[in-house]
């Protein structure tokens, strides 16, 4: 009897298991469901940005030269306007009228630098060209040289009108004007005239920040003359002999260079890694 009961229980259990296997579950789960999530600036994961290394400037020297050429007409209009203002400004407005002369001179100086660079550019192209192209670039180089020379002479005239007029002797930037005047003369290889202007600068404005560079120009002058006058070669080099005599006044507005000093003629001159030549003061090429 006991056995029969156990056997009946087993049969019922098997029957219920089979029935449940044949019956479909009420709820099913799909494991392949994909959720479409849209990310925005707040929910998007942060990604470390790579720091730029050795980023080169996007503005090249050719770009600057192109801009200088593009504003050529504007500069001519500027010179014309400044010239009119000079005629309209009374002489007793010393600083105002002097500054107008200075700005005219600088405008011509900018034109001179532009055409000088174009002269070199065209000459380089002529050297590498052949046939008709060589002749074309050579002609453009010659024309640019003429324009450079004409602009230089105009700048010299404007500086001279400012520097030689006694009415403007109290101009607050006269030392700067004299230095630029001398530099312009030297750029045109008017060495003796440039030397005379530099001497005036050194004599009348001994504390000017342009004095060290003006004195360096004397070394350039003597070396230039040594090449032009071979018979006086030794004399010119003697005038540019080295010395340890200091050149800068303690009252000078420019910080005293510490790298080295040298003597040029009867005038001492300082040189340093940060300010040694005329071009460093005017950023000229």
Contacts of 251 (CB under 8 A, 6+ apart): 207
Contacts of 254 (CB under 8 A, 6+ apart): 209, 211, 212, 248, 275
User: 102 with 187, same domain?
Assistant: no
**What is the overall mean pLDDT for the chain?**
74
Q: Are residues 208 and 229 in the same domain?
A: yes
Last residue of a domain, one of 118, 151, 172: 172
Does 219 fall in a domain? Answer: yes
* Same domain as 165, residue 225: no
Q: Is residue 129 part of a domain?
A: yes
Alpha helices in the chain (DSSP H): 2-22, 61-70, 72-88, 94-128, 131-163, 174-187, 191-204, 211-228, 233-239, 278-282
- Rounded CA-CA distance 165/177 in Å is 13
What digits encode the pLDDT tens for the residues 191-244? 889 889 998 999 999 999 998 888 887 777 777 777 778 887 777 777 766 433
DSSP conformation letters of 132-155: HHHHHHHHHHHHHHHHHHHHHHHH
pLDDT in tens, 2-19: 566 666 665 555 655 555
Mean pLDDT to the nearest integer, 103-115: 93
Distance of CA 163 to the CA centre of its chain: 28
Residue 54 within any structural domain of the chain? no
Mean pLDDT of 37-61: 68
Q: Residue 91: inside a domain, yes or no?
A: yes
Residue 186 lies in a domain: yes
Domain final residue pick, 172, 194, 218: 172
Mean pLDDT, residues 253-266: 32
What number is the average pLDDT over the span 19-25? 55
Give me the residues paired with residue 268 across strands: 263
The pLDDT score that the predictor gives to residue 139 is 93
Residue 285 has pLDDT above 60, yes or no: no
pLDDT at 277: 39
Output phi, psi for 257, to 5 deg.
Answer: -65, 150
* 165 and 200 together in one domain: no
Give every CB contact of residue 40 below 8 A, 6+ residues apart in sequence: none
Residue 136 lies in a domain: yes
Query: According to the model, what pLDDT value does residue 30 have?
Result: 62
**Do residues 182 and 115 share a domain?**
no
Range of the domain at 194: 174-285
Q: What is the pLDDT of residue 231?
A: 83
Residue 255 has a pLDDT of: 35
Query: What is the model's pLDDT at position 254?
Result: 39
Same domain, 162 and 252: no
Answer yes or no: is 268 within a domain: yes
Give 52-91 pLDDT, tens digit per residue. Answer: 566 666 766 677 777 777 777 788 899 999 999 999 999 8
Domain boundary, last residue among 140, 172, 204: 172
Provide, rounded to the nearest whole percent, the portion of the chain with pLDDT above 70.
65
Q: What is the C-alpha to C-alpha distance for residues 236 and 175, in angstroms, rounded to an integer?
A: 27
Q: Domain for residue 8, yes or no?
A: no
**Number of domains making up the chain:** 2
Residues 89 and 138 in one domain: yes
């Amino acid at each position: 009897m006991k056995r029969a009961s156990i056997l009946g229980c087993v049969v019922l259990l098997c029957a219920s298991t089979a029935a449940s296997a044949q019956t479909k579950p009420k709820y099913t789960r799909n494991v392949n469901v994909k959720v479409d999530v849209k990310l925005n600036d707040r929910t998007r994961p942060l990604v470390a940005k790579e720091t730029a290394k050795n980023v080169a400037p996007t503005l090249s020297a050719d770009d600057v030269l192109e801009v200088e050429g593009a504003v050529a007409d504007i500069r001519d209009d500027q010179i014309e306007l400044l010239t009119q203002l000079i005629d309209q400004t009374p002489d007793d407005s010393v600083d105002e009228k002097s500054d107008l002369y200075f700005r005219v001179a600088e405008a011509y100086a900018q034109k001179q630098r532009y055409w000088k660079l174009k002269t070199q550019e065209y000459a380089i192209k002529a050297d590498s060209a052949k046939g008709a192209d060589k002749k074309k670039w050579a002609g453009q180089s010659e024309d640019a040289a003429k324009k450079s020379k004409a602009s230089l002479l105009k700048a010299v005239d404007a500086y001279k009108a400012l520097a030689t007029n006694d009415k403007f002797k109290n101009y607050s930037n006269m030392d700067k004007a004299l230095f630029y005047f001398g530099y312009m003369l030297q750029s045109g290889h008017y060495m003796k005239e440039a030397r005379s202007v530099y001497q005036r600068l050194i004599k009348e404005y001994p504390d000017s920040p342009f004095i060290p560079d003006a004195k360096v120009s004397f070394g350039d002058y003597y070396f230039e003359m040594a090449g032009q006058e071979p018979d006086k070669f030794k004399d010119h080099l003697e005038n540019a002999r080295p010395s340890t005599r200091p050149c800068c006044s303690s009252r000078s507005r420019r910080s005293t260079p510490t790298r080295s000093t040298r003597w040029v003629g009867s005038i001492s001159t300082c040189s340093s890694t940060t300010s040694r030549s005329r071009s460093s003061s005017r950023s000229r090429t």
